Amino acid sequence: MAAVVAFYVFVISAGHFTHWTTWSAYYDPQAEGFRAGHLYTTVPVPPALKALKDPLDPANMHAWRWDYSYYDGHIYLYWGLLPPAILAAVKALFRIERIISDDPVVFAFLTLQALVGSLLVRAMARRLTPPPPRWSVWVAMAAFAVAHPTPYLLARGAVYEGAIVAGSCFLLLALYFVFEGIFAARAGAALRGLMLGSLCAGLSGASRANLLPAAAAVMTVATLARWRGDGGGWRRLARLAPLVAAPVTLVTFGHLLVNHLRFGQWTEFGQKYQMGFRWFPFSARFFPADAFVYLFRLPSRWCHFPFITAEWGYPKDLFPTWLPVPEEYRVTEPTAGLFVLVPMLWFLLAVPAGLGLGRLGRRSGSGGEPPAWAVAADPRWRWFLVVLAVAALGTLTVPLLVGIATMRYHGDFAPGLFVMACVGAWSWLAAFRRRPTRAIAIGVFLLLAAATIAAGALMGVTGYFAHFQTHNPALMKTLHRIYVCKGP
């Protein structure tokens, strides 16, 4: 974790370490609003904005406070309210009076996410039969911490990334507690794990509202998993389900109540009154284009350091000619495919074998035991992998149906997919025990892990807005001398 934190500081500071560039400070005014005893921010309302008959008309954009919400004479934050609430508590506890920008918030949540991801990877490894090699667990932990999109999100550290990483961090923490709840030997420990998971699931939605459906679905599947593992029975379900549902329900109700107090509507988070771009068409017809952009689009490549990046714009050759792309679909922000930037995700193909599913899973080893690669043959593993799939696919659904793409949304679903891929990776290693295939299997594992770590680190160099080039051109000029071929 010390090495990870040092790397995170290196990226977010563009190599300066002691000087961090501030992109935005949206959470602090809301935190100060909470400390002052009201639900709106401390951002002053421009008199010109108050005087307008229709202040939210795009023609009045010149008077806006960009990406805030304006309602009834006050300026509100429409991003999740949990991060500024935590910031308000931290500032009050440590008596901090200066403005805290959004980049420390992003840094803190990504550091916590790295820690939680490491704990979950370790916990999963201990439950496999047989356990994977210890060195492979260390490699998986390192790859999780450095894999894209973490360095990319650090490279800007604005409120846009803050909402994503806070929601993702709490959802990953929910998955950790759910894992402990599903595999707990005692019913009391299982209930504690599931209730803590439910609380964290609610906190993820309070940080990023579009995670609420996925968080609720995760806890529903987790409850069913424990219920079935304990033998089923409607009475047992009637006792378990309300207790597990209570934390996520209470947190969600609290956020909806705040919505009602702010905007007079329970389900209005502030987007309706947003001063910013509100063009977000939503349709299944965008699915093919979004799936290609988010999962398989190649990054731009050149001979000099940092060798790869995701560029702005919509080049004519972006999509294959056979792929249907609606005319109104937009790609202007940086994008590249997650399966290209995180090669370890290709181990997802080995997950069914690890669970002992399909024809490979039915082949018995010596003495009628499951085959060597079925490292997660326990039925509880199948339930947990369903939980991971629900978390990943539930958070991926919204980006795949919106008519505009941006790579920062990888932060919503990448952690869940990576954790799931670890099971496939360990199944891959377990399948090859004899030389020379063992050496080849280890080589493939290390190659994909190294490529994942390298791609993640390199994507943090350019980030959203040419991070290192803009804020540390001297270092970038030195690094640019490193090249692997002759060309631009």
Q: Does the residue 2 lie in any domain?
A: no
Distance from the Cα of residue 360 to its chain's centroid: 32
The answer on pLDDT for 386 being more than 80 is yes
The domain of 392 spans 21-283+333-479
Q: Does the residue 36 lie in any domain?
A: yes
Question: Average pLDDT, stretch 224-251?
Answer: 95
- Please, what is the average pLDDT of the chain? 94
Q: Within a 10 A sphere around the Cβ of 335, how many other Cβ atoms?
A: 24
Q: Does the residue 4 lie in any domain?
A: no
Q: How confident is the model at residue 73 (pLDDT cuts 50, 70, 90)?
A: very high
The reported pLDDT for the residue numbered 263 is: 96
Question: Average pLDDT, stretch 440-455?
Answer: 98
How do residues 127-165 score in pLDDT, each as one tens digit?
Answer: 999 999 999 999 999 999 999 999 999 999 999 999 999
How do residues 291-327 score in pLDDT, each as one tens digit?
Answer: 999 999 999 998 999 999 998 887 777 889 899 899 8
Residue 300 carries which DSSP code?
E
Distance from the Cα of residue 168 to its chain's centroid: 4
Instruction: Count Cα atoms within 13 angstroms, Cβ side, for 259.
Output: 20
The answer on pLDDT for 214 being more than 80 is yes
* Helical H segments across 68-158, by residue range: 82-93, 102-127, 134-146, 150-154
Dihedral angle sign, alpha carbons of residues 403, 404, 409, 414: positive
Q: Which amino acid is at 464?
A: Y
The reported pLDDT for the residue numbered 330 is: 87
Q: Does the residue 186 lie in any domain?
A: yes
Q: Does the residue 93 lie in any domain?
A: yes
How do residues 164-182 score in pLDDT, each as one tens digit?
Answer: 999 999 999 999 999 999 9
Cα radius of gyration (the chain): 24
Q: Does the residue 323 lie in any domain?
A: no
Q: Does the residue 97 lie in any domain?
A: yes
Q: Does the residue 26 lie in any domain?
A: yes
How many domains does the chain divide into? 1
